[in-house]
Amino acid sequence: MRIPGQASPAWPAAIAALICAAPLITVAALGVFGPWTDYMAHIASTRLPAYLGHTAAVTSLAAFGALVIGAPLAWVVARFEFFGRNVMEWALALPLAIPAYAAAYGWFDLTQAAGPLGFLPTVRGPVGAGLIFALTLYPYVYLLAREAYASQSADAYEAARTLGCGPLDAFWRAALPLAPAIAAGLALVVMESLADYGAVAHLGAPTLSVGLIRAWAGEGAVADAARLALILVAIAFVLFAFERAQRRRARQSAASGRRRPPKRINLGAGPGALALIACLSPILLGLIIPLARLGWRALSSPAARNVVEAAGNSILLASLSGVFAAILGLSAAYALRSGRRRAVIAARLAGLGYAVPGSVAALGVLVLLGLAQSGLDQAWRAMFGGVFPVLLTGGIVALIFAYQSRFAAAAIGPAESALARVTPTLDAAARSLGAGPVETAWRVHRPLVASGALLAGLLVFVEVLKELPATMILRPFNFDTLAVTAHNYASDERLGEAAAPALMIALIALPPMIWIARRITASEPEQ
């Protein structure tokens, strides 16, 4: 909706779109027009089928596991009352605080032959990676499904019960098909699994992300890495389009027709205890057990070097990225609110960034800034001699650029939801009192959107803390983050030293993740 007197949001939205789209455009151009080498032909005939097979196996298992865990638990929390439900409602989202590679370190160490759970099959290979992703990413399905079930009319479920279906049968046949948000959650699980590098590399299930890193770092074949990246991006964009379509269906389903809100059913002591155990199980398996193992290894192994410095670097990058992402998210949200065609198109382009895996964004930033560096060096040499004194590639600026390209899109949704509370009536009232656009934004909009902007910034803060492939590619020399430090030790099979930095990532991410989870789940009206 266009707000009269409002400053045009097209330029900020265009900047956000450029930041998110430029790396992807660069990778696409390099993949299409870059030089062809024998390495790509070798990959196509030898490793590419394995990369594609592992990718399909890992993502399929991750999606199936996340569905089996997330959808039923969302139904239990949304439709039943039992002891501990109020805590479980937000605690079930907490496994998002632990990176998949950290959970992989913990479970691999527990189940290897010399581990305390060595009698179990070792968590490794495509099956192990799919299991790890299911345990750490199921909250995407859970959160979207819980919201859908809480707002879903009780009529279909109760009609199924009156026709003779039991509670479980009625759930699978009546409630589950009416929650399109579940499909959106599954798409997010698959997209995150596609983007992962650390877990699949450690567990011996090389996917397309691993192939991309090997082509760039191992062979120096940047153009061929870009071609592998295009395959990854094509899959991710299909999933992204599917996820957006399912979210629209979910919103239309919630907004259409009359709805009789469901009333939660009180469970007795026995069923309530079973429900509590069911809710605790994925939290134990996906968060507490791997963290406990990492903590034990950290205490019983030689101390990893430079962990405190790496923690400072991680917090610095995550904080800066969160602030910039909140600003970009608000810019895109204002563009969508304005209703102006160019601004809306720019905002929608910015939202595509989340479909781009971190390794692809980093490769695009590396090539883009490399071209810019080459041009600046030539101009500087012509004017002053020597090369341009500022190195654009391999620096913090490059990292922040890649993080924004990858995660700024995640800030648009919370910012848009917060801005929805600023109605045209409030703007009109402020203008009638003589307030200009800037004063209206500061005195009327700011208090209403502050919490949404904080939510957007914290979401990106947590994601950047966990990000590994983009940081590996673009970090400056002697500038390690916790994710890179943990990966370097784990790559050398020094899980004891890798435990401390991996554990610290989760411990730093847990407080903001608790706040995020409680805020998201608090949106459900009390029954």
pLDDT tens by residue, 320-375: 999 998 888 888 777 777 767 776 777 777 777 777 788 888 888 888 888 888 88
CA 213 and chain centroid, separation? 20
Total residues found in the chain within this entry: 527
Q: What is the mean pLDDT of the chain?
A: 83
Of the CA atoms within 13 Å of residue 476, those in its CB half-sphere come to 13
CA quadruple 287, 499, 185, 139: dihedral, nearest 10: 20
Burial 6-16, CB ≥16 within 10 A → b, else e? beebbebbbbb
Q: Which CATH architecture has domain 1-35+307-479?
A: Orthogonal Bundle (1.10)
- CA–CA dist 340, 8 (Å, integer): 9
pLDDT category at 116 given cuts 50, 70, 90 is very high
- Sequence spans of domains, the chain: 1-35+307-479, 49-303
**Each residue's pLDDT tens digit, 460-514:** 999 999 999 999 988 888 889 999 999 999 999 899 999 999 999 999 999 999 9
Are the CB atoms for 84 and 76 separated by under 8 Å?
no
> Is there a common fold for 1-35+307-479 and 49-303?
yes
pTM over 0.75: yes
CA 523 and chain centroid, separation? 21
**Each residue's pLDDT tens digit, 151-172:** 665 555 565 556 566 565 555 5
CA 228 and chain centroid, separation? 21
pLDDT of residue 499: 95
Q: Of 329, 369, 331, 334, whose CA–CA distance to 353 is shortest?
A: 329
- CA–CA dist 126, 62 (Å, integer): 10
* CA dihedral sign of residues 322, 348, 146, 71: negative
CA distances from 230 to 60, 375, 410, 439 (A): 20, 26, 22, 45
pLDDT category at 257 given cuts 50, 70, 90 is very low
Share of the chain above pLDDT 70, in %: 86
Amino acid at site 464: V
Four-way CATH pick for 49-303: 1.10.3720.10, 3.90.470.10, 1.20.140.10, 1.10.357.10: 1.10.3720.10
Of the CA atoms within 13 Å of residue 232, those in its CB half-sphere come to 35
Amino acid at site 189: V
Structure tokens at 515: 């706040």
Are the CB atoms for 407 and 351 separated by under 8 Å?
no
- CA–CA dist 409, 405 (Å, integer): 8
Radius of gyration of the chain (CA): 24
Burial 122-161, CB ≥16 within 10 A → b, else e? bbbbbebbbbbbbbbbbbbbbbbbbbbbbbbbeeebeebe
**Each residue's pLDDT tens digit, 441-452:** 777 777 777 888
- CA–CA dist 119, 83 (Å, integer): 34
Are the CB atoms for 408 and 350 separated by under 8 Å?
yes
249's enclosing H/E stretch is: helix 222-255
- CA–CA dist 513, 97 (Å, integer): 6
Q: Cα angle vertex 180, ends 179, 184, to 5°?
A: 125
User: Higher confidence at residue 158 or residue 199?
Assistant: 199
Structure tokens at 140: 């995407």
Residue 96, number of CB atoms within 10 A of its CB: 25
Residue 344 makes CB contacts below 8 A (sequence gap 6+) with 13, 335, 336, 338
If you count DSSP H runs as helices and E runs as strands, how many of each does the chain have, helices first?
Answer: 24, 2
Are the CB atoms for 411 and 326 separated by under 8 Å?
yes
List, in sequence order, the alpha helices (H) in 260-395. Answer: 269-283, 289-300, 307-338, 341-350, 358-384
Q: Of 459, 461, 501, 507, whose CA–CA distance to 483 is shortest?
A: 501
Q: What value does the mean pLDDT take over residues 238-255? A: 66
Whether the predicted pLDDT of 428 surpasses 90: no
If phi over 0 gives left and psi between -120 and 50 gives alpha, with beta otherwise, what is residue 225?
A: alpha
**Each residue's pLDDT tens digit, 47-87:** 899 999 999 999 999 999 999 999 889 989 988 899 999 99
Q: What value does the mean pLDDT take over residues 135-140? A: 96
Are the CB atoms for 408 and 16 separated by under 8 Å?
yes
Min mean pLDDT across 181-185, 329-333, 395-399, 523-527 is at 523-527
Q: What is the DSSP string of 91-120?
A: HTTGGGGS-HHHHHHHHHHHHSTTSTTTTS
The burial class, CB within 10 Å (0-12 / 13-18 / 19+), for 278 is middle
* CA dihedral sign of residues 308, 291, 145, 66: positive
- CA–CA dist 182, 145 (Å, integer): 5
Query: Could you give the 3-state DSSP secondary structure of residue 81?
Result: strand
